[in-house]
């Protein structure tokens, strides 16, 4: 992975973060976005398991990423992951991606995995993604997991936004049903894996539910398609790993150009 190799070098050498800041970080005021109560420096962040343990979170802020989706995190590695980023001061906004342990096979185990992990990380992160994209999860179980983590959130004094990540295996009617369930139960945003999903959710909700796009598509144009279709934020994944850290700067420059020419949806 090209990006991880470069990140490891900048993390290891003295003054590496300052060098990364000078080499990669460009700020475009027109790209700033207010989403979920947070100010993001642009719509472009890092996802796709690029930073599973939070080790590079601080550095991603220095290279210009607006956010970092840390994880997937389970109850087994939650504490060690939190230690890697909790005390970092960065313009990059952290999401913690909560998921289940690979050994889970029964509904009760899935519920316990998500509930335990969410409880462990709640005090230590500002934003959460609950990854329910696994095709093994039946719709009724997905609803039960969402209800369980929302009940846990209710027990804390501080309200923190919750994003539900849905899988590409869902049919449109299933997506509509889960979207309606999320809206009725005060889920703060959805994470969608394709331009079709983004557009469908945006139209189904009349743009009233924030959407974060993520794509395994190797074409960089998928990022722009999602933003035009209604996504508020989009994570960089495969292309970032393949092309390296300058890809963040390149995407931000292209987004700034599109923004200047009125070719991005920003409402």
Mean pLDDT on 229-240: 87
pTM score > 0.75 for this model?
yes
Tell me, what's the pLDDT at 266?
A: 46
With 80 as the cut, is the pLDDT of residue 214 above it?
yes
With 80 as the cut, is the pLDDT of residue 140 above it?
yes
Tell me, what's the pLDDT at 189?
A: 98
Tokens of 109: 């185990």
Tell me, what's the pLDDT at 88?
A: 79
Q: Which CATH number fits domain 2-260: 1.10.3720.10, 2.60.40.650, 3.20.20.70, 3.30.70.260?
A: 3.20.20.70
The helix-helix angle for 221-229 and 246-260 (nearest 10°) equals: 40
Could you tell me which residue, 171 or 55, shows the higher pLDDT? 171
**Percent residues over pLDDT 90 in the chain:** 54
With 50 as the cut, is the pLDDT of residue 40 above it?
yes
With 80 as the cut, is the pLDDT of residue 146 above it?
yes
User: Hey, is 131 helix, strand or coil?
Assistant: strand
140 membership: H or E segment, kind and range: helix 139-154
Could you tell me which residue, 191 or 221, shows the higher pLDDT? 191
- Give dist(CA 140, CA 153) in Å, integer: 20
Which residue, among 197, 192, 186, has the nearest Cα to 159 in the 3D structure?
186
CA–centroid distance for 145 within its chain: 19
Burial of 118 (0-12, 13-18, 19+ CB in 10 A): buried
- Give dist(CA 5, CA 14) in Å, integer: 16
């Amino acid at each position: 992975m090209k990006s991880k190799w470069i990140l490891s070098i900048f993390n290891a050498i003295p003054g590496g973060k300052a060098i990364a800041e000078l080499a990669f970080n460009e700020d475009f005021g027109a790209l700033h976005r207010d989403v979920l109560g947070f100010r993001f420096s642009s719509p472009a962040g890092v996802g796709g398991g690029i930073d599973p343990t939070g080790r590079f979170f601080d550095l991603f802020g220095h290279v210009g990423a607006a956010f970092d989706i840390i994880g997937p995190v389970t109850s087994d590695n939650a504490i060690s992951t939190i230690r890697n980023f909790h005390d970092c001061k960065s313009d990059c906004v952290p999401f913690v991606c909560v998921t289940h342990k690979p050994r889970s096979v029964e509904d009760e185990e899935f519920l316990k995995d998500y509930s335990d992990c969410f409880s462990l990380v709640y005090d230590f992160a500002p934003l959460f993604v609950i990854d329910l994209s696994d095709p093994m999860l039946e719709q009724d179980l997905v609803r039960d997991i969402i209800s369980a983590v929302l009940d846990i959130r209710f027990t804390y004094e501080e309200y923190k936004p919750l994003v539900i990540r849905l899988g590409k295996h869902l049919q449109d009617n299933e997506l509509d049903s889960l979207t309606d369930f999320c809206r009725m139960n005060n889920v703060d945003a959805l994470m969608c894996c394709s331009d079709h999903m983004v557009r469908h959710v945006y139209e189904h909700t009349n743009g009233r539910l924030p959407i974060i796009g993520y794509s395994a598509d190797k074409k960089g144009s998928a990022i722009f398609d999602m933003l035009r279709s209604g996504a508020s934020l989009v994570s960089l994944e495969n292309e970032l790993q393949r092309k390296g850290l300058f890809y963040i700067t390149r995407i931000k420059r292209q987004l700034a150009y599109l923004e200047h020419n009125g070719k991005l949806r920003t409402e």
